[in-house]
Structure 1
Amino acid sequence: MSRARGFPAFGPVRGAGRFARTWWGRAWVAGLEDSALDGEQLRVGRKLARAGHVGAITASPGRLSAVVHDPGDDAAYPTAVRVPELTDAEWDRLAAQVGAESGHLAALLDGEMPTALADAASAVDVALLPGIGDFDSDCGCPGWEMPCRHAAAVAYQAAWLLDADPFVLLLLRGRDRDFLVETAPPGIPATAAFADPVATLPAPPGVPADRPAALSVPAAPGIDPDALALLAADAAVRARALLAECSAPGEVAVLPLADDIVRFAAVHPTAEPRLRGARADLDRAVAAWRQGGLAGLRALDTVWKAPRAELARGGDAAGSVAEAAVEVTGNHVTLGDAQLRYGRDGRWYPYRRRANNWWPSGRPNPDAAAALLDAGGVVEGG
């Protein structure tokens, strides 16, 4: 599933030159301007963008969203710019074109979009860049133009995002970076192969990476063979994980017993009923562990005074995609029936209200808006 990405607000930018430096950024601007019905709205939109009146931008499939402050009427307007997503068939054809030339993926991972890739995509009837008629917008302002000055400001700043990372364009068209990396054929360049810093240990021959070889436990008085085999299997998997997590020889993370019980229940669902008495809210604790491991459990259990700047950025970013009042307490940002918890690992953990309790919902993310969207989309106010 494609994921949303959030970007901090741009500050004021001096000068009146081109809005984009790359050919694909300029093509984006050209498509916007060719689709506009009112040149005056574009002019004011450029002014708002350069003056830094656009808040944090969230990019998701088919959509850019931000809150735009208009000094003309001293109001803030939730604004969205929409472009069409590519169909599944178009994405399949694009992936084939990327895989046909090894340099295409390497260039994308290096922050470049080769013109040869756009030409190859056009050859199979896939338009990477939106053109005339492909831009649409929604805004809370009273204007009727498409785009209004606020939507134009968001779209102009989006050209800066595209300049820095062409994968933003691909996300807007419906898929993220992982799609092209995962669908690339064998033999891609080393730059692509090592682009993901997460390394994994190889599994023993014939054994899946997440499960050790079966253990034969002889019957003995007072010993439950199935339980012992489960404990031995868990120990092997845990040892493997510890080795993968260690940053130095001899470094081993030892969990407190209470945390390890939660981990064990999360990894082995069949054992969870036997552990019910260990913790009153074991269900929620297991959900938190599955959400983010030990850091996820800490996000459930602890409230702390997070840095004010991080909370402000998180509230601003979440507010750009939510239609609910933002309430900030400790490390919690609450928006109606949704909540984001800022963890000590620098990630936002999404929660949803359920049966008078907050439950982990969705994946943690360094970006608050992305975490909120991954937890279930735009939150409507209460």
Structure 2
Amino acid sequence: MIARGFPAFPPAKRRPGHFARTWWGRAWIKAMEDSALDEQQLRQGRKYAYTGYVGSITVSPGRLAATVRDYEDDTSYQTVMRLEPLSDAEWRRFLDQIAVKAGHIAALLDRDMPAELVDAAGDAGVRLLPDIGDLDPECSCPGWEMPCRHAAALAYQVSWLLDADPFVLLLLRGKDEAELLGDLHGRSAPPATELAVDVFARRQQALPEPPPIPDGKPTVLSVPPAEGVDPEALELLATDAATRAREMLTGDVPDLARRPDAIRYAATYPAAEARLRSVEGLDRAVAAWRNGGEQGLRVLETSWQPPAASRARADDALAAVAEGSVIASRNHWTVGEVQLRLGRDERWYPYRDQGGEWWPVAPPQADVAAALIAVLA
């Protein structure tokens, strides 16, 4: 795994007016502070940051880590801050977008991150800077606050690293400087074979009208039997390819990685499930997709730490309707044999205990109490 280490910052001789001096460093701090409800933890985190209680910081894709010493009990705690890396598809869109403007690349090499570069990423559907709830803190300390003072101290010091080098953010998102520049080099435009004055002097030609988008379901391909060919499998693949192509022309279809796409395929075409038995956890994954689509699969396979405000609202709502104790852990709330999982889309995905495993049992709902009542009913 790609990782960079940074030595510990020495104690500051005076308290800085602001932890970050760049706009992107301040955006980082805002994402962390907006997710916190306990201002006392932030105040202590700022104190720990400028008095040198944070050890050396390690940055790797999706993860920041440091040992932070506590002022009160003089104990060292292992502190981590997570930020979800960009997917391969997001990286492709982002690099394609910035490769067309040399100024973006020059700014990065000059350790600058102009707002135009972030806007260009946004135009490609990629969010570079974190927003509220994107930073996921973990700490070995006994405190329950998110972030605790140790995680806050780490986040404040990372704003200094971002000030000095925006490639720290890009590494967190999944690529180090060498890999990113190598990918950009491969996107360089080929040399022109005509003079620009001749190209601009040429009369513009009208583009033909695009062909109409077919209505209805695609015609099923009829594949004759042949040695080494499975006609049914090939017919399903052709139908799926035509359906996906139509969806791409009419709406926003996510570019899925290999595993999610295999699960989508099995969930859409039941006849294909038997051919995909090599996919780990296929049955539960298919159930998750059929109930909640791609986001439902993410809720099954990954957990995250919701903002404190979201956790408090869920605790209050479930306390009013649940019979028995409610156990909350990260984005999972368990009530007896029912579990409700909060997705990053702010919807609640119901699960039920089946033989010691949690299985998706119903589509998501916007209200946690309604989701619980629907499953119990």
Structure 2 length-normalised TM: 0.48
TM-score, scaled to structure 1: 0.48
Which structure exhibits the higher relative contact order, with contacts defined as CA atoms closer than 8 Å and separated by 6 or more residues? 1
